[in-house]
Structure 1
Amino acid sequence: MKIKDELKAAVISLSENDQNFESLALEVFKFQADQNPVYKAYLKNLGVKPSKVSHLEKIPCLPISFFKSHSVISGKAAIQHTFESSGTTGELSSKHYISDLPFYEYLSAKTFEAFYGPLTDYHILALLPNYLERNNSSLVYMVQSFIYKSFSTKSGFYLNNIEALAKKLELLVNQKNTKKKVLLLGVTFALLDLIEQHAPNIKFPENLLIMETGGMKGKRKELLREEVHELLTADLKVEKIHSEYGMTELLSQAYSKGDGWFKPSATMKILLREVNDPFSYLPSFKIGSKTAAKRNYRKTGGINVIDLANIDSCSFIETQDLGNFSEDYQEFKVLGRFDNSDVRGCNLMTI
């Protein structure tokens, strides 16, 4: 489909704070409003006429739970792969149907390198046990593509063998004639297991970068991100813990270089909706006055994500995460999740 290819080319060309983001988002919206049956029906039930939507903030966001109950697909391209969330026992998992894996691989690598430099500068050690136990994790797929692009024979995945990871870290302490950095990327509970079992006895590389992907996955008591980072920085001898914000339903990522403040990629924009009204946004520099924005930047709201990489599914997602903005509105923090996981907009769907 020619229009989809043109949209993808435009998304690839986006740069940070690109002035074309809004106009491109509106183009993607009109495409998906026509070519995505689920989103089209949702808009109809809301009484929204796509031709009347002329501003970014007026684009309705689809509740993320639709990825559990419906096939959210735009266009008729063949499905190459399905990313699936882990979920819990008895709970439906989210499914994200992917028809262009090279597009995802290219954008995810471009995003990482925009934040951290070339992948070839890293040895990548991935401690993702619960994700590796599934063969359809978007995170594992992304990290696997990063490992290939790192061109490092020392990069690799670790399931439950934390001892082997500890030995690899010690080996990398003694690496000679290389300027490669070490990226240890892990799910939170596994990183905590590492420090409890081996941290006192390990010598860590000086150029070690720790990145947590969040989540205890029922393995441990849930902790605040600040608590986790305090434990990890103390035992892993690093100043900051980096973080990645992504999910099955999104193809773009946001990264934090410390203190839990995330910066979205060039293909992603974050908006915060009122907690009790999914169709109203909190003030920001673009919505309302700058004075109102200054007063409200720390106010908590529901996180809506505009992900222009999601051209083949839906780019406008109402998540179940809560967050707030930094004072300059360039970064956001994830504070938790809604207690009630049923998003009110869902009951508008009858298809």
Structure 2
Amino acid sequence: MIYTKVTVLELQNNKSNSEIRDSLRDRIIAIEPKEFDELALDILRYQASYNDVYQHYISHLNIDLNKINTLIDIPFLPIQFFKTHTIGNRRETFTTDIIFESSGTTGLNTSRHHLYDPELYKVVSDRIFQKNYGALNQYHILALLPSYLERSNSSLVYMMRHFIDQSASEHSGFYLNNPAELLQRLKYLSENPDGKSILLLGVTFALLDLAESNEDLAFLKKMENLIIMDTGGMKGRRPELLREEVHDILTSRFSVPAIHSEYGMTELLSQGYSQGNGLFNAGYTMKILLRDINDPFAVYDHTLIKNKTGGINVIDLANLDTCAFIETQDLGRFGEVPGTFHIMGRFDNSDIRGCNLMVL
């Protein structure tokens, strides 16, 4: 299929908002790596025309869109806007009952992210997982997410519920404050292998609680197909620890060679995954850029800066209907291989969130 470049003239005159959006949506689903930059710039023009909040932000910066030709020139919307504004396309008639909300902490405003296109989110999340781990129907998925399940609007719970459905396993499910049942399920799977892998995904404090309990975990040593995935976050339940400390405890008690991690947040619809040592691979609809700690408008890509910590800016093409260009409050650095990155922590005055356990 041949796609035409989204120009300002087309946005103003020739094509309807829906036609442009549908074309961009199709391109997101079918995108190949070499097409990322051009599609990101097309989405920039689209969102700058139809997203009031982003349009006003760009206007206040006096940025001429016609002079933006590379990703590092794109203006990134500070993530705090998701706490104070409804981010969305003003000219598209959307209805949604799904609004993701961050956990936040007592006394703090929470971010709200409207999910206008659940099917796009599911397609993107499926493909990112599959690229990293293979088909979901080859997994038993055990989700240990007590703090998230206590809320009804967690994006992580929404994604895991979809993954559990896609796994089509009678053993997949959520485990809320019931470690004994979870271990009983793991033991059954260890004694009755069926060729599928087991993914135990949990919030940090819950995995630590399980690891440091008096439960007998010796049987896990026989489970070569067990993946432990940490989503980050003490949620005020335990003292904050360095990522290395957490993962040393978990690898030792769960008898696995490495602890996997997921990088995601309420304001993003794409995910990154780490298969160990805190090195993340960005999802196919994501690109990580770094900004200078002292100058938020000085942005760098992997070719321009290495071995230096900066603020993380995320291009998330799956945020087609909100804003695809987010200035986060996370600190990171690039990995040696393009498309990989490390999470180093958070800016000092940022709200507490799940990934602050990654501080090095």
Query: TM-score, structure 1 length as denominator?
Result: 0.91
- Partner AA of 2:57 in structure 1: Y
Q: Percent identity?
A: 53
- Alignment of structure 1 residues 169-180 onto 2, 5 Å: 169-176=186-193, 178-180=194-196
1:116 is the counterpart of 2:157: no
Decide whether the 8 Å contact of 2:142 with 2:199 is kept in 1.
yes
Alignment counterpart, residue 337 of structure 1, candidates 326, 343, 346: 346
Q: Please state if 1:264 is matched with 2:282.
A: yes
CA contact (8 A) 1:84 1:248 kept: yes
CA distance in 1, matches of 2:120, 2:215: 38
User: How far apart in 1 are the matches of 2:184 and 2:283?
Assistant: 34
Distance 2:248 2:215 in 1: 14
Identify which of 189, 203, 211 aligns with 1:187.
203
> Equivalent of 1:102, from 119, 127, 148?
119
Deviation at 1:125, TM superposition (A): 0.1
Amino acid paired to 1:2: E
Write the distance in 2 (CA, Å) between the matches of 1:65 and 1:23.
27
Q: Which deviations, in whole Å up to 9, do the C-alpha atoms of 1:258-307 show, x marking residues without a partner?
A: 0000010110000010001000024631x4xxxxx4xxx11110000000
Distance 2:217 2:278 in 1: 28
Q: 1:66 aligns with which of 81, 85, 91?
A: 81
* Residues 203-247 of structure 1, C-alpha deviations (whole Å, 9 max, x = no match): 223311000000111111111111111110001000011000000
Superposition deviation, residue 330 in structure 1: 3.1
Cα deviation digits, residues 320-348 of structure 1 (max 9, x gap): 00001112333111010000239xxxxxx
Q: Give SS of 1:27's match.
A: helix
Matches within 5 A, 1:299-314: 299-314=308-323
Q: Tell me, yes or no, if the aligned pair for 2:37 and 2:71 is still in contact at 8 Å.
A: yes
RMSD: 1.3
C-alpha distance 136-279 of structure 1, shift in aligned 2 (>3 A): same
Which of 311, 331, 334 pairs up with 1:322? 331
Residues 199 and 236, structure 1, Cα contact 8 Å, conserved in 2: no
Q: 1:201, CA displacement in angstroms?
A: 4.2
Cα shift at 1:198: 4.5
The CA distance in 1 between the partners of 2:321 and 2:302, in whole Å, is 29
Whole-angstrom CA distance in 2 between matches of 1:198 and 1:137: 30
Of 188, 212, 225, which residue of structure 1 is paired with 2:230?
212
- What per-residue deviation string (whole Å, max 9, x for no partner) do you get for residues 5-29 of structure 1? 11011011123xx111111001000
Q: Name the residue aligned to 2:266.
A: 248
1:236 aligned residue (254, 260, 275): 254
* Runs of 4 or more consecutive aligned structure 1 residues displaced over 4 Å after TM superposition: none
- For these two proteins, the number of residue pairs brought into alignment is 330
* Aligned amino acid, residue 74 of structure 2: I
Q: Distance between the aligned counterparts of 2:162 and 2:114, measured in 1? A: 18
User: Helix, strand or coil: the match of 1:108?
Assistant: helix
Shift of 1:159: 1.0
Say whether residues 1:45 and 2:60 are aligned partners.
Answer: yes
Q: Is the contact between residue 333 and residue 343 of structure 2 (CA under 8 Å) also seen in structure 1?
A: yes
Match of 2:244 in 1: 226
Unaligned runs of 5+ in 1: 288-292, 343-351
- CA–CA distance in 2 between the matches of 1:155 and 1:328? 34
Deviation at 1:202, TM superposition (A): 4.8
CA separation of 1:252/1:201 partners in 2, compared to 1, >3 Å: closer, same or farther?
Answer: closer
Summarize deviations over 1:56-95 as a string: whole Å, max 9, x none. Answer: 1111000000000111112423232101101111111100
CA contact (8 A) 2:140 2:167 kept: yes
Distance, in Å, in 2 between the alignment partners of 1:154 and 1:198 is 24
For the residue of structure 2 that corresponds to 1:20, the secondary structure is: helix
Helix, strand or coil at the partner of 1:333: strand
